[in-house]
């Protein structure tokens, strides 16, 4: 832990640095490949929406003997096209089969319930049926899409007002990247997209936005302190900001993913589908959001800023200064930790703390400490 804290302090001070912004083509290529895999999942497998979105019936049969295949056969025989069934475990250790069908008539529903009760050797009154109309499911889907669009619009307006429009564009790109990756993972996993999943999506978007805003706030601070003072170019200043917030971002994400992964593992083991759906959305979103804010948002921001004539002029001005200054002198001898040796450091401190000012009379000198460097020198005449 002390080593990680030391590394974080050295990254913040700029003593060590990972070249992230300057290798943006590499990161964008990697994320481009991940996006292609996610899109292939959507095209080849597609998303499985729950009855809350598509409309239909959910029939729960508490039975210790009814199998998934039996339940699907009974549903198909009673006029339900393409039903789905899954086994789950309840809290008291019991077992139940959940059958999801499209919208069916009341007669079909009664016949199916009676057949399932007979096959599962249970009382028909113990079987629960939840029916959802197709129009209600369409309304839920429309409202979820509207909420996502409004969220992205508000994010863009906020960042454009309090930061810059380039930061707003970079943040939106990062958020869209997280959405596509998370949805693609859902498509490959085969889990249902339910209202619980939508809640997880909106949660991770807020988390990913927070991570990007932290980095952008540091970029803004470094622009004021480094770029406007002609100490660093915009790309180097942004790379410094990413390094300064790197350990913080990784620590925050690690702390957040540990309990989420526990929920995901517990949901998979217990068969609690809603818990598994929520945990998977949170886990993938947190990981993708953290990496995207580091490797996508800031490099894309730098690419947009480098199109600005003012940034180009500042980079050209720094290049002329470096050319005029000539080659950088070789660094002094370093100790094991990369700092100046103790003896050399003492000599430098001693040399900078002594200033010899020669007065008008020969042989008289005044040694002044650093606090007196900018004070006028008083000379006195000797009495004869």
In the chain, the largest separation of any two C-alpha atoms, in whole Å, equals 129
Q: What domain range includes position 240?
A: 2-49+136-316
Mean pLDDT score of the chain: 75
Tokens of 217: 């706030």
Residues of the chain above pLDDT 70, percent = 76
* For range 126-142, the mean pLDDT: 73
3-state secondary structure of 270: helix
- Calculate mean pLDDT across residues 314-323: 78
Residue that finishes a domain, picked among 132, 150, 183: 132
pLDDT surpassing 50 at residue 301: yes
Looking at the domain assignment, is residue 255 inside a domain? yes
Query: So what's the pLDDT on residue 327?
Result: 59
Straight-line distance from the first to the last Cα atom of the chain, in angstroms, rounded to the nearest whole number: 71
Confirm whether 373 is domain-assigned.
no
What's the whole-model pTM score?
Answer: 0.66
What pLDDT sits at residue 134? 61
Q: Is 84 helix (H, G, I), strand (E, B) or coil?
A: strand
Whether 328 is covered by a domain: the verdict is no
- The distance of Cα 71 from the centroid of its chain, to the nearest Å, equals 41
Output the domain CATH number for residue 61.
Answer: 3.30.70.3220
| The pLDDT value given to residue 3 | 58
Please tell me what DSSP assigns to residue 340. Answer: B
**pLDDT, tens only, 247-271:** 787 888 888 888 888 888 877 776 6
C-alpha R_g of the chain? 33
Domain count, the chain: 2
User: How far, in Å, CA of 213 to CA of 206, rounded?
Assistant: 10
Percentage of the chain beyond pLDDT 90 is 1
Which among 186, 144, 141, 179 has a CA at the least distance from the CA of 277? 186
- Using pLDDT thresholds of 50, 70 and 90, give the confidence band for residue 40: very high
Closest to 367 measured CA to CA, from 380, 376, 354, 358: 354
Would you say residue 377 lies in a domain? no
Residue 162 phi, psi dihedral angles, 5° rounding: -90, -15
**Strand 56-61, strand 95-101: pairing:** antiparallel
Same domain, residue pair 126 and 165: no
Whether residue 352 has pLDDT greater than 60: no
Spatial CB neighbours of 140, under 8 Å, sequence gap ≥ 6? 52, 53, 195
* pLDDT higher than threshold 50 for residue 133: yes
In this predicted structure, the answer to whether residue 298 has a pLDDT above a threshold of 50 is yes
Question: With 60 as the cut, is the pLDDT of residue 150 above it?
Answer: yes
Q: Which helix (H) or strand (E) holds 31?
A: helix 24-44
Tokens matching residue 271: 């068969």
Residues 180 and 217 in one domain: yes
Contact status, residue 201 vs residue 281, Cβ threshold 8 Å: yes
CATH of the domain at 144: 1.20.1640.10
- Name the β-bridge partners of 316: none
Q: What are the pLDDT digits (tens) for 66-99?
A: 888 888 888 888 877 777 887 777 666 678 888 8
- Scanning the structure block, which residue is given the tokens 């290529």? 29
**Rounded-to-integer distance, Cα 274 and Cα 197, Å:** 8
Q: Are residues 82 and 180 in the same domain?
A: no
Q: What is the pLDDT of residue 329?
A: 53
Q: What tens digit of pLDDT does each residue of 184-210 get?
A: 988 898 888 877 787 788 778 777 788
Q: Sorting pLDDT into bands at 50, 70 and 90, what band is 37?
A: very high
Helix 195-222 and helix 134-162: axis angle, to 10°? Answer: 10
């Amino acid at each position: 832990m002390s080593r990680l804290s030391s590394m974080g302090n050295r990254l913040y001070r700029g003593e060590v640095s990972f070249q992230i912004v300057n290798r943006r083509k590499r990161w964008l290529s990697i994320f481009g490949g991940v996006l292609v895999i996610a899109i292939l999942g959507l095209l080849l497998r597609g998303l499985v929406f729950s009855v809350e979105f598509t409309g239909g019936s959910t029939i729960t049969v508490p039975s210790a003997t009814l199998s998934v295949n039996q339940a699907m056969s009974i549903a198909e025989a009673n006029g339900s096209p393409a039903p789905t069934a899954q086994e789950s475990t309840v809290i008291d250790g019991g077992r139940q089969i959940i059958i999801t069908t499209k919208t069916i008539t009341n007669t079909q529903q009664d016949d199916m319930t009676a057949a399932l009760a007979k096959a599962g050797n249970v009382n028909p009154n113990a079987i629960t049926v939840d029916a959802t109309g197709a129009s209600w499911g369409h309304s839920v889907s429309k409202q979820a899409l509207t909420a996502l669009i409004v969220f992205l619009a508000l994010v863009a307006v906020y960042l454009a007002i309090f930061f810059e429009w380039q930061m707003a564009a970079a943040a939106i790109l990062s958020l869209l990247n997280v959405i596509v990756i998370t949805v693609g993972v859902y498509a490959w996993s085969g889990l249902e997209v339910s209202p619980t999943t939508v809640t997880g999506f909106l949660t991770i978007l807020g988390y990913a936005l927070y991570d990007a805003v932290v980095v952008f706030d540091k970029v803004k601070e470094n622009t004021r302190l480094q770029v406007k003072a002609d100490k660093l170019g915009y790309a180097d200043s942004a790379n410094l900001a990413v390094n300064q917030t790197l350990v913080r971002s990784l620590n925050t994400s690690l702390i957040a993913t540990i309990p989420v992964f526990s929920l995901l593992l517990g949901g998979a083991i217990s068969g609690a589908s809603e818990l598994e759906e929520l945990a998977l959305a949170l886990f993938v979103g947190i990981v993708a959001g953290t990496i995207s804010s580091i490797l996508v948002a800031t490099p894309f921001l730098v690419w947009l800023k480098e199109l600005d004539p003012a940034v180009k002029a500042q980079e050209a001005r720094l290049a002329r200064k470096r050319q005029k200054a000539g080659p950088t002198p070789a660094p002094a001898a370093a100790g094991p930790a990369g700092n100046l040796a103790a003896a050399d450091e003492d000599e430098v401190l001693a040399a900078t703390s002594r200033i010899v000012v020669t007065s008008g009379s020969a042989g008289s000198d005044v040694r002044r400490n650093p606090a007196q460097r900018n004070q006028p020198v008083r000379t006195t005449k000797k009495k004869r």
